[in-house]
Amino acid sequence: MKSYIAAAVQMTSVPDRQKNLAQAEELIDLAVRQGAELVGLPENFSFMGEENDKLAQGEAIATETEEFIKTMAQRFQITILGGGFPVPVDSTGKVYNTALLIGSNGQELLRYHKVHLFDVNVPDGNTYQESSTVMAGDQLPPVYFSPELGNIGISVCYDVRFPELYRHLSHKGADVMFVPAAFTAFTGKDHWQVLLQARAIENTCYIIAPAQTGLHYARRQTHGHAMIVDPWGTIIADAGEQPGVAIADINPSRLEQVRRQMPSLQHRVF
């Protein structure tokens, strides 16, 4: 694993996927011009709209999104995570919330179907029932072993509240973990940062968390603050509340230093 620059993209996605993909391309270009070799896009980056529209357009969203990620990876010669987009599940009328990691030559490195679905009555008056249109994955997320970028694990949004998933990734050797999200504004203000820091600290790993921000459709509002957290839990990049990118160095010597000073992974009992 070498030292390199990573980017967590922050977007305000809408129901128009052409606008979303154009915005994503601009922000990927911005990240690459700052030296990024590993770029993460947030959950729902290619489409964020009403659930019925998502299902009606599911096939087109899935096809265009996957093609877009592969094109961007090859054009900019980078590794890209498409942090969550709908992929129809045969004859079920539902979709998988799918995260896809693509290498610089356009090849698929990892595919993960989100396992924890956001079925929550948020105290701000909004109700979310992700399971009404999304089928939960039934496999733990995989890890991609890269001699250059380190061992990369992936998750999606609500997963961050389930530490056992990240312990699995850690046990499989992950050095860098993605948490692409569309965190609600209400829960994000209290929980987003502290959960990301906890996942970084307890697994002594880098966390890269692309995010949605702002007002999207109807009353849907997201928290923003795409960030990168180092293995000590220090926030080394924060995109704030506007669309943009959080950029930071991923440094193997920092990873080794923290794991040497705080060897908690070696002290596990259970």
User: Does the active-site annotation cover 114?
Assistant: yes
Q: Would strands 211-215 and 4-11 be described as parallel, antiparallel, or unpaired?
A: parallel
DSSP type of residue 42: P
User: Does the active-site annotation cover 43?
Assistant: yes
Active-site annotation holder among 37, 54, 66, 114:
114
Active-site annotation holder among 54, 66, 157, 205:
157
**238 in Cβ contact with 232 (< 8 Å):** no
Active-site annotation holder among 43, 54, 66, 70:
43
**81 in Cβ contact with 7 (< 8 Å):** no
Q: How far is CA 187 from CA 36, 67, 183, 190, in A?
A: 30, 33, 7, 6
User: Does the active-site annotation cover 256?
Assistant: no
Q: What is the dihedral of CA 23, 29, 31, 33, to 10 degrees?
A: -150
Cα-trace Rg, the chain: 17
Closest CA to 34 of 67, 6, 74: 6
Nearest-5° angle of CA 179, CA 118, CA 132? 130
From the number of C-beta atoms within 10 Å of its C-beta (0-12, 13-18, 19+), residue 84 rates as: buried
Q: Helices 163-171 & 185-203, crossing angle to 10 degrees? A: 30
d(CA 95, CA 92): 8
**165 in Cβ contact with 121 (< 8 Å):** no
User: What are the catalytic residues?
Assistant: 43, 114, 157
